[in-house]
């Protein structure tokens, strides 16, 4: 029958390739975040690339180039300075390959390492972590070293466990 020649667009198969179709950002995030608590700030709406790394709250900025002579304005964009780095996690005892901005890298150096950056508890830090940072934070919090540290801190503050 002639209708058998046409497949609906939702059918996820290609006759000309054997490589699987990659899932979109939403499907990937849903799969990797299935076992952890939901991120309180949700996925990034305007700069979706920041869901995949430590962007420190940095987004694309917009503005104008203004000519000196005629003051003609031309729109332009400033993109974040994104790097790919391998950072060592003491809690996980291994290197983690992550995309991050230069601003986030400076903050990591300032607070004393990747683990300290991810375990920051102020709302502004949690908000700038993004989806990838939230996932890494959860993985670090599941390690025995971090749980012992929190237990010790609760004991010092005389908070019942």
Residue 148: which domain range?
26-157
The helix (run of H) or strand (run of E) holding residue 28 is: helix 25-32
| Residue 9 predicted with pLDDT over 80 | no
Lowest mean pLDDT among 16-30, 76-90, 130-144: 16-30
| Residue 59 predicted with pLDDT over 70 | yes
**pTM, rounded to two decimals:** 0.76
CATH code for position 32: 2.30.170.40
Q: Is residue 60 in some structural domain?
A: yes
Answer whether 106's CB lies under 8 Å from 112's CB.
no
pLDDT at 5: 56
Answer whether 43's CB lies under 8 Å from 24's CB.
no
Q: How many domains does the chain have?
A: 1
C-alpha 32/C-alpha 26 separation (Å) is 10
């Amino acid at each position: 029958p002639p209708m058998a020649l046409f497949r609906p667009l939702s059918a996820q198969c290609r006759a000309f390739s054997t490589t699987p179709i990659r899932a979109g950002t939403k499907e990937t995030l849903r799969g990797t975040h299935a076992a952890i608590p939901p991120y309180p700030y949700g996925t990034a709406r305007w700069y979706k690339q920041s869901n995949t790394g430590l962007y420190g709250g940095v987004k694309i900025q917009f503005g104008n180039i203004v000519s000196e002579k005629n003051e003609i304005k031309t729109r332009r964009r400033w993109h974040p300075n994104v790097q790919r780095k391998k950072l060592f996690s003491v809690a996980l005892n291994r290197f983690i390959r992550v995309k991050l901005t230069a601003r986030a890298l400076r903050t990591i150096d300032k607070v004393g390492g990747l683990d300290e950056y991810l375990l920051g508890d102020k709302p502004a830090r949690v908000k700038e972590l993004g989806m990838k940072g939230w996932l890494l934070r959860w993985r670090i919090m599941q390690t025995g070293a971090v749980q012992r540290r929190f237990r010790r801190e609760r004991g010092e503050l005389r908070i019942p466990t």
